[in-house]
Amino acid sequence: MIFEDRTDAAYKLAKKMEWLKKEDPIILAIPRGGVVTGDVIAAELGVKLDVVVSKKIVAPYNPELAIGAVMHDGSYFPNEDITRMLNVPQNYIDSEIKRLMKEIDRRLMKFRGSKEYHLEGRTVVLVDDGIATGATMLVAIYWVKKQKPKKLIIAVPVGPKDTIDRLNKVADDVIVLYVPVDFGAIGEFYRDFGQVEDFQVQEIMSKYGYKMKLSE
């Protein structure tokens, strides 16, 4: 399965999510690409779109390898196998968490103008444009669970089987269109997987009434 672009994938995903309308869910998208996906789904279901920002912590000297991910409140989800294998120092992890929390704060203010969330008792749907190792999604899942939602559902167009299996263990439901046998990178499954810019995220979020810092 090859998607034309994020919008095409999102329309296809939304068709599998129509049963969620009765839940009046909040769509919680992971920027930046996930916000394009989430916007289409929120519009199709007639519900609210919000964003949550998680950032990967990469291995020392290897910016392609994620050793974990962090949220704005300091929640950290480690990839324990890689961290242990590389013997990553704890002081490196601590300094990266501190640095990335500042970047996450900046993005939250830029995209939604606030760090306040009201998810208790709501059905929350975490959305991205695809998933690979799942580090940023998993840390977002554990953070959302702390907010005491009614249900937590994951919706992605594509992801590898081992990651999808892992998500199924921690979410109430996982909605996915395509679980390929061979998975290299998310972009392989899109004809157009161009980078989404901050201003595009801001434009989308402004439609949902968010007052963000447009000057940055």
41-67 confidence digits (pLDDT tens):
999 999 999 999 999 999 998 887 889
Helix ranges restricted to H, 46-134: 80-86, 90-111
Q: Tell whether the torsion through CA atoms of 99, 103, 104 and 108 is positive or negative.
A: positive
Beta strand 62-70 with 76-78 is antiparallel
Does position 179 have pLDDT exceeding 50, yes or no?
Answer: yes
Q: What is the pLDDT of residue 216?
A: 43
**What's the mean pLDDT when you consider all of the chain?**
93
| Whether pTM exceeds 0.85 | yes
For CATH 3.30.1310, the residue range(s) in the chain are 56-109
For CATH 3.40.50.2020, the residue range(s) in the chain are 6-53+113-206
Query: 56-109, what's its fold?
Result: Ybab; Chain: A; (3.30.1310)
Q: What is the pLDDT of residue 65?
A: 84
Residue-wise pLDDT tens digits, 12-44: 999 999 999 999 999 999 999 999 999 999 999
Domain spanning 6-53+113-206: CATH 3.40.50.10470? no
Least confident of 45-49, 73-77, 92-96, 151-155: 73-77
Buried b / exposed e over 122-132, threshold 16 CB at 10 Å, is bbbbbbbbbbb
